[in-house]
Amino acid sequence: MAEMGVEIAGIAFRNPIIAAASPLTGTARGIAKAIDSGVGGVVTHTISLLPAPEPPNPVGIRGGLLHLPTWSSRTLDEWVDGILPEARAHADRAGVPLIVSVGFTAGELEEVVPRVAKFADAIEIATNFLRPTVDPMVDAAAVVDEVISRHGNPIVKDPSALKEAILAAKRAFNGPVMVKLPPLGTEIEALARASQEAGADAIVATHSFGPVMTIDIEKAKPSFPGKDGHAWIGGTAMRAFALRNVFDIARSVSVPVVGAGGVTSAQDAVEFLMSGASAVQVATEAETKGARIYGSIVKKLSKWLDSHGYGSVREAVGVGVRNWARMQPHTYTVPVQYNPDECIGCGLCELSCHYNAIWMEGKLAVLDSDLCFGCGLCAVRCPTDALIMPPVWKE
């Protein structure tokens, strides 16, 4: 059986599936349920100096969960006096690392981190509410309003607030400090490097994606009752974007990367591992289907690795990045390669080919290689490996 354990910044996890910061990990009961389901580690809902104003309930849509990217509505005292001691005891019994998520500015972290430190195996800094212009220690609701209206995280243009937050957490905590970055364009590489320079021991990518907007067509209104009709989304809809962030970060820094964004299955987790993540976090899938989903992904991941010949999770980490380095960019083997022995006669290739290069004769596809333009659509749709378009390797 594939070895499932992973090590991140010196902490051993029994498997690479980690419960992400979300309302589910905002209570001792939720954290216990995650641990009992078999998760490899838990990140608490983000704790800050002031409790978050109660946000509207998340709204489920096709492809994810719309929500506001806020933090825990429990007070720091509630966390320190009740939730964290209970969660710590449960984590110790199971031997599962407890990562305490904290936010946001250096000033807040200086007060929050010393109080939560004794319960934490690692600290994770949430960065989606860094650098507000209103004072976060005075008016949490004003901070939420500002961040939601401003569209874009100011740490992208000026990472000094991010660095200060990391340094503050490092001063207050004698253990690994992880930084969770927002999903970004190519700026993500510079931000990841800035995090590493400031002393981050691991990078988590990413927070949920936003702002977005979808319409509930039956009710003819935006699906989420947010300010401006906007919301943030976690789940399948953001996975390709989060994967690209992980892939780019993994090539830019030497500290470990933890992926998050649209992990709903073992296969999704493998995609993140192959993109360079040492572990993955799951929020939306567990929020919508319950904590047992963590354990289900762990079991299926183990089976997937076994059935694909991987002796350990570590063997899968970064394999996609390494293979990318061997690929000739923007080139494929043209014409498409066709193996009639694998054809099951479904006819999907004929429907996809706009060049009339492949058609059905009875229950068998027939390819005219001279007409093939190499668009690859038939290979995408073919349910077997009858049609393939391998990349061109550099060697």
Ligand X SMILES: Cc1cc2nc3c(=O)[nH]c(=O)nc-3n(C[C@H](O)[C@H](O)[C@H](O)COP(=O)(O)O)c2cc1C
Footprint on this chain of ligand SF4 (rule: CB under 6 A) = 335-336, 343-349, 352-353, 355, 357-358, 365, 372-378, 381-384, 386-387
- In the bound complex, what is the minimum distance in angstroms from residue 261's beta carbon to ligand X? 4
Helix (H) or strand (E) holding 392: strand 391-393
Residue 207 interaction partner, one of ligand SF4, ligand X, none, beta carbon < 5-8 Å per kind = ligand X
Q: How far is the CB of 331 from ligand SF4 (least distance, A)?
A: 14
Q: Which of 216, 385 has the CB closer to ligand SF4? A: 385
- How far apart are CB 383 and ligand SF4 at their closest, in Å? 6
* Contacts with 89 (C-beta within 8 Å, 6 or more apart), sequence order: none
| Cα separation, 317 vs 325, whole angstroms | 15
**Is 22 one of the binding residues for ligand X (CB under 6 A)?**
yes
CB of 293 to ligand X, least distance (A): 10
The H or E element spanning position 388 is strand 387-388
Q: Pick the closest to residue 103 from 127, 123, 119, 70 (CA basis).
A: 127
Element (H, E) at 351: helix 348-352
CB 183 within 8 A of CB 241: yes
Q: Is the peptide bond before 335 cis (omega within 30 degrees of 0)?
A: yes
Closest distance of CB 238 from ligand X, Å: 6
- 59-61 sheet: strands from edge to edge: 59-61, 64-67, 231-234, 209-212
Q: Does 276 bind ligand X (CB under 6 A)?
A: no
Sole binder of ligand X in the list 109, 260, 316, 386 (CB under 6 A): 260
Q: Is 261 in the site for ligand X (CB under 6 A)?
A: yes
Question: Which residue, 12, 6, 25, 1, is CA-closest to 294?
Answer: 25
Alpha-carbon span 82 to 74, nearest angstrom = 10
CA–CA gap between residue 223 and residue 237 (Å, rounded): 15
Say which entry of ligand X, ligand SF4, none residue 377 contacts (CB below 5 to 8 A, set by partner kind): ligand SF4
Which CB sits closer to ligand SF4, 311 or 390? Answer: 390
Does residue 40 touch ligand X according to CB under 6 A?
Answer: no
Task: Establish if 263 lies at the interface with ligand X (CB under 6 A).
Answer: yes
**Residue 287 found at the interface with ligand X (CB under 6 A):** yes
**Interface contacts to ligand X, rule CB under 6 A:** 20-23, 45-46, 58, 65, 67, 71, 101, 126, 180, 207-208, 234-235, 260-263, 282-285, 287
